């Protein structure tokens, strides 16, 4: 239960951090996809139902705090997480290359879903050149963000048994 | 049997998700978003506050501590005075016109609402910022948002405690404007940001026979819900549009550069025809 509460708290912190970080102008103003990376981390390392709780909570925050209608993250996060969950026994989940590839995939797919979804609904108007830059930027940022987020989450979760140990001695 | 039930649960969840996503009812969307945003508002305000404090502490270390507070008070005062001045100027111009006409309009506008900025768009796809005041504080959709430098954008999605501001640089933001020097009207539309991060906007549908110049000031025209005379920016480049019937000009919306921690929502102008 405590582990689950920590999981949700960390996702909340991730959402706040993603919102606070400035967009990178050279990459079309895109931001590091921290929430997407957190969803993928749970797809790579956790079982159900923790995985689905984390994925839907992250998607809800991503769509809820973003402009336009609900949808892109609520579709892309679970779809990609399901895909990764299915193939995770056949890949090296802790390898840096795996982390980078799935991170890039998540960044690209989420950005693509947002672009297509909101453009189709007429809520977004972006030049094709800028769309290309943003998709490339999202791919690049996903590639960099995923290993960092995975490392931070693994380290934080590893602290829990130490807290329990410390409380027992007090 | 258990496996079959599990599959049914997954199928039901997938169908429910698709219904939520593919049936974007605006009222339902806003209700859902409102719940998420209102719940997150205190945390966003807290985290932005911490970041602000750190940046202020850094400024204090650099020797600008006392000036910072004073500057903030003066900026606040200046925006109030500027807004009041533009309202008086607009009222004066309107008065002159009304003397020439038979009927007359009465302009009513409420108090300016000071708001703190609590966040920015999470995805990077939108040029928006989030204010820490919403419907409960009197903010409504479609109202002008100003900084001491002029018009910043307009309110879009307003929840009970938050309001999103669509910045002037966003391509979906359109404002009726005029060139101050010669009373030529046009439509200002956002044009995104450059790769250096500078916001861009263009003013379209300017009469091709009017001689506009670089550095001409562009202000709100007063047509629509926005008050008249709010500064938008200066013309940087002029060209003919594709049809050759109008001129268009690029402007740099200075008010959206380096936004402050607080902004002001200007209530919509309500015009009533007096009997």
Find out whether A30 and A21 touch, Cβ atoms under 8 Å: no
Q: For residue B263, what are the β-bridge partners?
A: B115
Nearest CA in chain B to A17: B47
Q: How much is the pLDDT for B275?
A: 43
A148 inside 8 A of chain B by CB: no
Give the β-pairing of B231-240 and B113-120: unpaired
Residue A33: both structure tokens together: 């996809």
Q: Is A160 helix (H, G, I), strand (E, B) or coil?
A: helix
Residues in chain B: 275
Domain range for A46 is: 2-22+31-168
| B30 CB-near residues (< 8 Å, 6+ apart) | B157, B159
CB contact under 8 A, A31 and B123: yes
Ramachandran assignment for B245, one of left (phi > 0), alpha (psi -120 to 50 degrees), beta (any other): alpha
- The model's pTM: 0.78
Q: How much is the pLDDT for B72?
A: 80
Question: What DSSP assignment string belongs to A96-114?
Answer: HHHHHHHHHHHHHHHHHHH
Q: How far is A78 from chain B (nearest CA, A)?
A: 10
Residues of A whose CB is below 8 A from B125? 29, 66-67, 111, 114-115, 118, 124, 126, 134
Residues of A whose CB is below 8 A from B40? 15-16, 61, 64-65
Residues of B whose CB is below 8 A from A130? 192
A130 inside 8 A of chain B by CB: yes
Instruction: Pick B48's closest partner by Cβ from A20, A67, A127.
Output: A20
Q: Is A64 helix (H, G, I), strand (E, B) or coil?
A: helix
* Percent of chain A topping pLDDT 70: 94
Chain pair A-B, CB pairs under 8 angstroms? 111
Is a pLDDT exceeding 70 seen at residue A64? Answer: yes
Is a pLDDT exceeding 90 seen at residue A37? Answer: yes
Find out whether B245 and B140 touch, Cβ atoms under 8 Å: no
Residues of A whose CB is below 8 A from B35? 64
The domain tally of chain A equals 1
* Percent of chain B topping pLDDT 90: 4
User: Cα–Cα distance between B172 and A68 in angstroms, integer?
Assistant: 12
| A1 CB-near residues (< 8 Å, 6+ apart) | none
User: Cα–Cα distance between B20 and A117 in angstroms, integer?
Assistant: 14
For residue range B167-183, list pLDDT tens digits in order. 888 888 888 998 888 87
ipTM for the predicted complex comes to 0.79
Distance between terminal CA atoms of chain B? 77
Q: In what helix (H) or strand (E) does residue B119 lie, and over which residues does it extend?
A: strand B113-120
Residue A145: both structure tokens together: 């963000």
The residue ranking higher by pLDDT, A78 or B102, is: A78
Find out whether B46 and A12 touch, Cβ atoms under 8 Å: no
The residue ranking higher by pLDDT, A55 or A47, is: A55
User: Cα–Cα distance between B218 and B223 in angstroms, integer?
Assistant: 14
Question: What DSSP assignment string belongs to B56-118?
Answer: HHHHIIIIIHHHHHHHHHHHHHHHHHHHHHHHHHHHHHHHHHHHHSSS-EEEE----EEEEEE
Q: In what helix (H) or strand (E) does residue B178 lie, and over which residues does it extend?
A: strand B174-179
């Amino acid at each position: 239960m405590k582990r689950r509460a920590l999981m949700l708290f960390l996702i909340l912190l991730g959402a706040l951090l993603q919102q606070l970080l400035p967009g990178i102008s050279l990459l079309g103003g895109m931001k590091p996809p921290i929430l997407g990376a957190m969803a993928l981390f749970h797809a790579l390392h956790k079982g159900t139902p923790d995985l689905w709780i984390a994925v839907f909570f992250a998607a809800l925050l991503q769509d809820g705090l973003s402009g336009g209608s609900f949808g892109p993250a609520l579709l892309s996060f679970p779809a990609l997480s399901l895909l990764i969950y299915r193939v995770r026994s056949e890949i090296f989940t802790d390898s840096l290359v795996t982390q980078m590839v799935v991170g890039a995939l998540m960044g690209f797919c989420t950005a693509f879903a947002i672009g297509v979804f909101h453009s189709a609904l007429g809520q977004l108007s972006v030049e094709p050149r800028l769309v290309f830059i943003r998709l490339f930027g999202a791919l690049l940022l996903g590639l960099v963000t995923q290993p960092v987020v995975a490392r931070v989450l693994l380290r934080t979760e590893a602290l829990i048994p130490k807290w329990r140990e410390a409380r027992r001695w007090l | 049997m258990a496996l079959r039930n599990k599959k049914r649960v997954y199928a039901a969840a997938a169908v429910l998700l698709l219904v939520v996503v593919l049936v974007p009812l605006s009222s339902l969307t806003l209700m859902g978003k409102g719940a998420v945003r209102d719940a997150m508002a205190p945390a966003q305000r807290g985290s932005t506050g911490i970041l602000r404090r750190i940046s202020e502490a850094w400024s204090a270390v650099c020797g600008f501590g006392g000036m910072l507070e004073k500057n903030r008070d003066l900026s606040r005062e200046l925006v109030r005075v500027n807004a009041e001045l533009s309202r008086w100027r607009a009222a004066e111009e309107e008065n002159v016109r009304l003397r020439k006409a038979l009927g007359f309009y009465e302009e009513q506008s409420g108090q300016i609402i000071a708001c703190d900025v609590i966040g920015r768009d999470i995805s990077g796809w939108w040029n928006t910022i989030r204010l820490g005041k919403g419907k409960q504080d009197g903010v409504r959709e479609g109202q002008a948002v100003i900084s001491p430098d002029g018009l910043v954008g307009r309110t879009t999605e307003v929840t009970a405690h938050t309001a999103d501001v669509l910045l002037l640089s966003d391509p979906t933001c359109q404002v009726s404007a005029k060139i101050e020097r010669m009373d030529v009207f046009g439509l200002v539309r956002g044009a995104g940001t450059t790769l250096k991060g500078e916001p861009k906007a263009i003013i379209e549908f300017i009469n091709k026979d009017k001689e506009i110049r670089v550095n001409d000031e562009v202000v709100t025209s007063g047509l629509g819900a926005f008050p008249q005379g709010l500064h938008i920016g200066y013309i940087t480049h002029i060209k003919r549009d594709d049809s050759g019937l109008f001129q268009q000009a690029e402007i740099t919306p200075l008010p959206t550069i380096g936004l402050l921690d607080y902004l002001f929502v200007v209530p919509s102008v309500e015009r009533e025809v007096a009997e």
